[in-house]
Each structure stands twice: as C-alpha cells, then as structure tokens.
C-alpha cells in the first residue's frame, strides 16, 4: 500500500516536472529569438474614422513586411484624451512593445505615456502629436506650414479672392488641427488675403452628427459666408452635406482635408471644387515601421538622428524630435475617381 502511494506521488512529481520543463522549453524558444512577436499598438483619436482605418491598413502592411509584428488597433469611441488614457493604461499592463498614437491632446496624455516609456514601451506619436517629453518621436504627415497655407489658398481661389470664411475643425484640443489653424490665421494676415475674413471657428469633434450640426449653425448664423474650411476628413464630409442640404451649392464652397473615397460625390455635386490630403496608408505604415525601429534599438530619440521608414526611405528628427513625410496632394474633379479607389 505504502509503496503504491509512493509510486503515485513520484509519478505526480514527474508529471509536474515534465510540465514545467515543457513550459521552460516554450519560454526558451522565445528567448532564443525564434518566433517572439513584437506587439505594436496603434491608438487612434477615435474608432470609425476612415482616415484611421486607412492608417491601420498601412500599419498592417508594415507589420507584414517586417515579419513577427502584431498590430493592436485601438482607440476610444469618441476622440477624448480620457478615453486614450484608459486604453494606454491597459496597454501598459499588457506589456506591449510600442504605442503609436494620434493624440487627442498634446499634454493631458503625457503622464501616462511617460509611465509607458518608463516601463520600456516605445512611444511614437503620429498625425496629431504629443508634447516632446511624452514620446520618442512625432511623425507629421507633412509640413504644417504647407498644410495651413494650402487650405487658405484653396478657399481664397474658390471664393474669388474676397469674402467671409469659417473653419469647422475636429476636437478643440487636437494638436494637429490647432497647429494648422494657427498657420491659417497667420497666413490670412498677408496682404494678398486682406479681403478674406475668418468669421468663426467651430468644433465638430470628428463626429459626423456634431460636425453636421456645427456646419448648419455656421451657414445659418453667417448668411454671407462663402467658404467653410474643414481641416478634418470627418468635418469636410459633414460640411459638404450641410451645404447641399441647405441648397447652397455654388454659393458656399467647402474645402480642407478629405479622403477622396469619401469626397467623390461632393466634388461631383459642386459643393467641393478642391481639397487636399496626404496618403494616410503611408502615414500609418511609416509610423509603425519607425516604432519597430525604436523597439529593435535601431533608432534614437535625438536631434539629427535618422529613422528608417521602410519603403518610404528615412526621416530625420529635428530639435523637437519631429519628422515629416511629403507634401499634401490636391484632389478635384479631374483626379478624384482614380484616388477614390485607394483611400
């Protein structure tokens, strides 16, 4: 009887030992460099925005090209800093390798992204930036001066050089839109824009319904309005729809930053003559590629350092730890169909 019990106990210990050896082997295989996944989380301003869906496509392309990279695509349902803070907290517990974020606020997220960096997580902001102390790098889609200037030029041309204009932006704290609006206001001080008057700036929070209501509000409270500039892909669609619904096509022009796939109908209706954007797939691809370079220790967060962005070449960090991709492209009736198929 005793012997039987002893044998059983020995068998159990053996079994446990075997199991734990098994576990160790698994861990060793990972540490030996074999297929251990790098997890890169892309945290966007909000889910359900076509611009970020396109950036996600780019992130997946980078992951596939690099190999061994898993992309976790996430974001709050509405563009708030609080929602992103909650998400980052959970990504810290999940011990992801990098966070690639389009920030809903330049400063409010800094304490949490600093915490992530202290835990060894690389933080790259893209599109809408974080303050420098809260990230390793900011990847801008293009030069802010160019983006701001372009939008004033398009609006001025469409209204024949004179008249009231208004801005329908995304959320009031968005780093990127606020940067571009700052440039637009400066550009309007130039003598050639003396007859163009910015009468209002409103915020639709990158939500279709709120943006639509804000656009209707602009049209009704400013009967002399000649153009709405929406530096947001959500806002520009909503403003175009508002102009059409109020029977103002040809009287009020909409321009700004949009996705060709979402704007084709409004270009054809005449509510929009021209708008601009960069390639959002490339932006998501480059940000994800750069994040992986930091994870692999191949990139450094210092002024003058170059960071590879894969098929797009390399970018150089300036003193603020920022880098930019190429100039925005302009879309109109002549080329919209060709690009509407892409993004």
CB of 55 to ligand RAM, least distance (A): 9
Q: Hey, which residues between 147 and 186 contact ligand RAM (CB under 6 A)? A: 170, 176
Rounded CA separation 253/66 (Å): 43
Q: Hey, which residues between 85 and 144 contact ligand RAM (CB under 6 A)? A: 102, 127-128
Question: Going by C-beta distance under 8 Å and a sequence separation of 6 or more, which residues neighbour residue 141?
Answer: 127, 147, 278, 280, 283, 324, 325, 328
Q: Hey, which residues between 209 and 248 contact ligand RAM (CB under 6 A)? A: 232-234
Rounded CA separation 102/81 (Å): 10
Using CB under 6 A as the binding rule, whether residue 45 contacts ligand RAM is answered as yes
Q: Specify the residue for token string 């372009």.
A: 150
Q: Helix/strand/coil (H, E, C) string of 13-39? A: HHHHHHHHHHHHHHHHHHHCCCCCCEE
Q: How many residues bind ligand RAM (CB under 6 A)?
A: 13
Using CB under 6 A as the binding rule, whether residue 206 contacts ligand RAM is answered as yes
Of residues 156 and 232, the one with the C-beta less far from ligand RAM? 232
Q: Which stretch binds ligand RAM (CB under 6 A): 7-15, 44-52, 118-126, 288-296?
A: 44-52
Which of 73, 247, 241, 104 has the alpha carbon at shortest distance from 174?
104
Rounded CA separation 227/164 (Å): 7
One residue of 51, 193, 253, 275 binding ligand RAM per CB under 6 A: 51
One residue of 38, 49, 138, 142 binding ligand RAM per CB under 6 A: 49
CB of 153 to ligand RAM, least distance (A): 17
CB of 251 to ligand RAM, least distance (A): 25
Longest dimension (CA), the chain: 103
184 touches 197 (CB < 8 A): no
- Contacting residues toward ligand RAM, per CB under 6 A: 45, 49, 51, 102, 127-128, 170, 176, 206, 232-234, 257
């Amino acid at each position: 009887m005793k012997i039987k019990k002893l044998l059983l106990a020995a068998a159990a210990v053996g079994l446990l030992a075997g199991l734990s050896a098994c576990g160790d082997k698994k861990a060793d295989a990972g540490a030996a460099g074999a297929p251990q996944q790098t997890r890169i989380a892309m945290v966007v301003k909000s889910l359900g925005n076509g611009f970020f869906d396109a950036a996600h496509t780019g992130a997946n392309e980078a992951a596939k090209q690099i190999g061994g990279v898993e992309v976790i695509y996430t974001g709050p349902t509405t563009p708030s800093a609080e929602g992103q803070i909650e998400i980052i907290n959970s990504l810290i517990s999940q011990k992801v390798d990098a966070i690639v974020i389009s920030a809903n606020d330049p400063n409010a997220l800094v304490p949490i992204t600093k915490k992530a960096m202290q835990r060894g997580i690389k933080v790259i902001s893209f599109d809408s930036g974080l303050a420098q102390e809260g990230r390793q790098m900011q990847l801008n889609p293009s030069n802010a001066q160019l983006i701001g200037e372009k939008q004033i030029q398009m609006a001025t041309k469409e209204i024949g050089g004179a008249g009231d204009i208004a801005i329908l932006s995304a959320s009031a704290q968005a780093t990127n839109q606020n940067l571009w609006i700052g440039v637009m206001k400066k550009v309007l001080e130039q003598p050639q824009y003396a007859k163009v008057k910015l009468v209002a700036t409103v915020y639709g929070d990158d939500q279709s319904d709120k943006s639509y209501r804000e656009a209707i509000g602009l049209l009704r409270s400013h009967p002399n309005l000649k153009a709405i500039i929406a530096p947001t892909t959500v806002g520009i669609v909503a403003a175009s729809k508002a102009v059409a619904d109020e029977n103002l096509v040809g009287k009020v022009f909409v321009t700004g930053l949009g996705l060709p796939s979402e704007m084709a109908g409004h270009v054809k209706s005449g509510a929009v003559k021209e708008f601009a954007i960069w390639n959002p797939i490339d932006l998501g691809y480059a940000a994800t590629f750069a994040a992986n370079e930091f994870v692999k220790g191949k990139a450094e967060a210092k002024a003058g350092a170059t960071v590879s962005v894969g098929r797009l070449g390399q970018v150089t960090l300036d003193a603020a730890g920022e880098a930019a991709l190429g100039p925005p492209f302009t879309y109109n009736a002549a080329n919209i169909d060709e690009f509407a198929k892409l993004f």
